[in-house]
Amino acid sequence: MGTVTIGVSIAVPEPHGSELQQLRAGFGDAAAHGIPTHVTLLPPTEVDEASLPAVEAHLAEVAAAGRAFPMRLSGTGTFRPVSPVVFVRIVEGAEACTELQQLVRDPAGPAARELQFPYHPHVTVAHGIDEAAMDRAFEDLACYEAEWPCTGFALYEQDADGVWRKLREFPFGGSVVPPQNGRMERGSVPIR
């Protein structure tokens, strides 16, 4: 077995996820179609493939202790000039995302990871494109709004083609949900 590149994130649900992905592609971001619209909890991290079961067990424990929380996006921000990124701001749910990513990256756990920059939850809508397109993304989405209940997160793997594919979802709570990959998984009851 070799190594794999994994990431953990909160998916932006439909119709918002596809809408933001199409807008990102429209700004000229070539990576848009290979990256589902998300809020990062664990950035791209290389791990031994043999450690994936331990990572999944750790994430299941984090999710089992978690509770749904409201997420609301509003307006834009940027990390320029430090990093060539324009993003949609998280105005509700940021604190919960921050706590969650700390649990995911627990230094004693199998997904331990130091960050290159301080954690700042956001939804990327432009990355590494020309400045005029970055400015357009910043301006065009300045009034963007979306909200939903965050009910869990997912583990992704980046394939050799650079596309991120979901390996497993981790709903908050503790009831059993039907498997997507033939295995029973821990999960939460739906929010009512």
Give the separation between CA 145 and CA 1, rounded to whole angstroms: 44
| Residue 90: predicted pLDDT | 98
Give the separation between CA 125 and CA 131, rounded to whole angstroms: 13
The string over 69-86, giving b where at least 16 C-beta atoms fall within 10 Å of a residue's C-beta and e elsewhere, is bebebeebebeeeeeebb
Task: Kindly state the DSSP code that residue 191 receives in the 8-state scheme.
Answer: P
Tens digit of each residue's pLDDT (9 = 90 or more) over 142-190: 999 999 999 999 999 999 898 999 999 999 994 433 333 333 333 332 2
Tens digit of each residue's pLDDT (9 = 90 or more) over 74-127: 999 999 999 999 999 999 999 999 999 999 999 999 999 999 999 999 999 999
pTM score: 0.87
* The token pair that represents 104 in the structure block: 């995911």
| Residue 12: predicted pLDDT | 98
Query: How many residues are listed for the chain in this entry?
Result: 192
Helix 131-140 to helix 16-26 angle, to the nearest 10 degrees?
A: 150
| Residue 187: predicted pLDDT | 31
